[in-house]
């Protein structure tokens, strides 16, 4: 939600405002006359109102309206400029479309509320979940693992030459002691202590141009489409992109592999699968960028950092939605992994249950 002068606005209200007032303005700005727009259901934690725009004989578009105050105009410009740079240099991303005025980002004010609007080409294909997690018929799943790494490697290689006009925030601008202390309840003092320890460890790492730069920060199968005719992956949703270590995106990609083997009761078999999976990912990744400074020996550390992101996001969603703070089974599991120093998302540890993956007993705050 967004508070302006004490007035709070939520996702549904933004959708109503769009339908009643903003739609004609946006249609004029982006030449969307004749397009049918349909609201895309927001996922848990979604920070934007998003529409699918379709017209016979024309390529489909995705319209995004940002309304929360956790992204500044500078941040949003930094995001869309980065996407345009990646696309123009051969990155497999959904390109941003300029408005009739030539702007990548449009700002509209209505009743003292500010909305930031941008339009994207819709990626070709489907998300994996839309295909019921079935890959291309007759093609080994290892092609998918390889392509995931290859597409990410290309994006990271391009980032190494990126000189932003509007600079996105860096990891520590958000993930720092002050913010953690403010966001996480005092009753979770051990969690806060462990988070701070990990952040201090990160601060000591090198930030050279081969290891640190603009990353997607949410590279997952929910944020790319797969062309099931060719296997091509097209990435979208750079809403969380920031300056960070490239290893973060790779660690996040490691965690994606767990879903393929999470119901296997034998921890040794899970370990062997993950080793093979990540080896294939890295083969794809290093086909596009070198790995001398990849910090692969820090994989376990960066997986713990993805847990910090998960936990921070969960508390931000509760705060933004005005919900009572609580730890469900999934959040409790993540907290336990950090508090008890359990590596690799607990995937090879006795805390993990293949009957109830990534869940443990709820805890009180």
Furthest-apart CA atoms within the chain: distance in Å: 59
All structural domains of the chain: 2-121 (3.30.200.20), 128-346 (3.90.1200.10)
Quote the pLDDT of residue 47.
85
Give pLDDT tens digits for 336-350: 999 999 999 999 999
Helix ranges (DSSP H) in 41-114: 73-88
Residues 6+ apart with CB under 8 A from 263: 354, 357
> Using CA atoms, how far apart are residues 91 and 147, in angstroms rounded to an integer?
13
Which residue matches tokens 């345009």?
84
Q: For residue 2, is pLDDT > 50?
A: no
Positive or negative: CA dihedral 248, 362, 184, 317: positive
CB-based burial label for 274 (10 Å; 0-12, 13-18, 19+): buried
Q: What is the pLDDT of residues 69-128, one digit of tens each?
A: 888 999 999 999 999 999 999 999 999 999 999 999 999 999 999 999 999 999 999 999
What Å distances lie between residue 26 and 21, 64, 188, 303, CA to CA?
Answer: 10, 11, 44, 40
Q: How far is Cα 237 from Cα 44, in angstroms, rounded to an integer?
A: 15
What percent of the chain shows pLDDT beyond 90? Answer: 90
- Least trusted range by pLDDT, from 44-48, 245-249, 275-279: 44-48
> What does the alpha-carbon distance between residue 279 and residue 289 come to, in Å, rounded to a whole number?
15
Condensed to tens digits (0 to 9), the pLDDT of residues 302-356 reads 999 999 999 999 999 898 778 899 999 999 999 999 999 999 999 999 999 999 9
Q: What is the pTM of this model?
A: 0.95
Q: Is the pLDDT of residue 180 over 60?
A: yes
pLDDT of residue 1: 40
CA 289 vs. chain centroid, Å, equals 21
What is the average pLDDT across 41-48? 78
Instruction: Determine the Cα–Cα distance for residues 296 and 133; give it in Å rounded to an integer.
Output: 28
Cα–Cα nearest to 96, from 115, 74, 118: 118
Per-residue burial over 244-261, b if 16 or more Cβ lie within 10 Å, else e, is: bbbbbbbbbbbbbbbebb
Q: Residue 316 in contact with residue 183, Cβ under 8 Å?
A: yes
pLDDT of residue 71: 85
Give the confidence band of 7 by pLDDT, cuts at 50, 70, 90: low
pLDDT at position 225 = 98
Q: How far is 200 from 176, CA to CA, in rounded Å?
A: 9
Average pLDDT, the chain: 95
On the question of pLDDT at 3 being above 50, the answer is: no
The pLDDT score that the predictor gives to residue 43 is 72
Instruction: Give the span between the Cα atoms of 334 and 306, in whole angstroms.
Output: 10
């Amino acid at each position: 939600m967004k508070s302006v002068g004490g007035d709070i606005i939520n996702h549904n209200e933004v959708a109503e405002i769009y339908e009643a007032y903003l739609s004609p303005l946006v249609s004029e700005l982006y030449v969307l006359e004749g397009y049918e727009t349909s609201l895309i259901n927001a996922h848990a934690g979604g920070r934007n109102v998003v529409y699918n725009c379709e017209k016979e004989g024309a390529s489909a578009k995705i319209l995004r309206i940002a309304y929360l105050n956790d992204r500044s105009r500078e941040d949003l410009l930094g995001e869309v400029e980065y996407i345009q740079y990646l696309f123009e240099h051969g990155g497999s991303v959904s390109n941003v479309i300029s408005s009739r005025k030539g702007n990548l980002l449009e700002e509209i004010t209505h009743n003292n509320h500010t909305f930031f609007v941008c339009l994207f080409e819709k990626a070709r294909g489907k998300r994996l979940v839309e295909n019921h997690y079935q890959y291309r018929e007759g093609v080994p799943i290892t092609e998918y693992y390889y392509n995931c790494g290859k597409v990410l490697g290309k994006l990271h290689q391009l980032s190494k030459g990126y000189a932003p006009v509007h600079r996105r925030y860096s990891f520590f601008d958000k993930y720092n002691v002050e913010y953690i202390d403010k966001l996480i309840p005092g009753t979770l003092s051990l969690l806060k202590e462990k988070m701070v320890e990990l952040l201090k460890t990160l601060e000591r790492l090198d930030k050279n141009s081969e290891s640190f730069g603009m990353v997607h920060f949410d590279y997952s199968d929910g944020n790319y489409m797969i062309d099931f005719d060719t296997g091509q992956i097209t990435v979208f949703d750079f809403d969380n992109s920031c300056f960070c270590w490239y290893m973060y995106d790779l660690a996040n990609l490691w965690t994606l592999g767990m879903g393929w083997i999470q119901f296997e009761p034998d921890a040794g078999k899970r370990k062997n699968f993950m080793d093979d999976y990540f080896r294939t990912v890295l083969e794809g990744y290093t086909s596009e960028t070198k790995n001398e400074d990849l910090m692969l020996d820090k994989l376990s550390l960066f997986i713990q950092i993805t847990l910090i992101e998960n936990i921070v996001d969960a508390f931000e969603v509760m705060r933004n939605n005005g919900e009572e703070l609580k730890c469900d089974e999934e959040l409790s599991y993540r907290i336990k992994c950090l508090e008890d120093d359990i590596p690799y998302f607990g995937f090879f540890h006795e805390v993990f249950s293949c009957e109830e993956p990534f869940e443990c007993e709820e805890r009180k705050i």
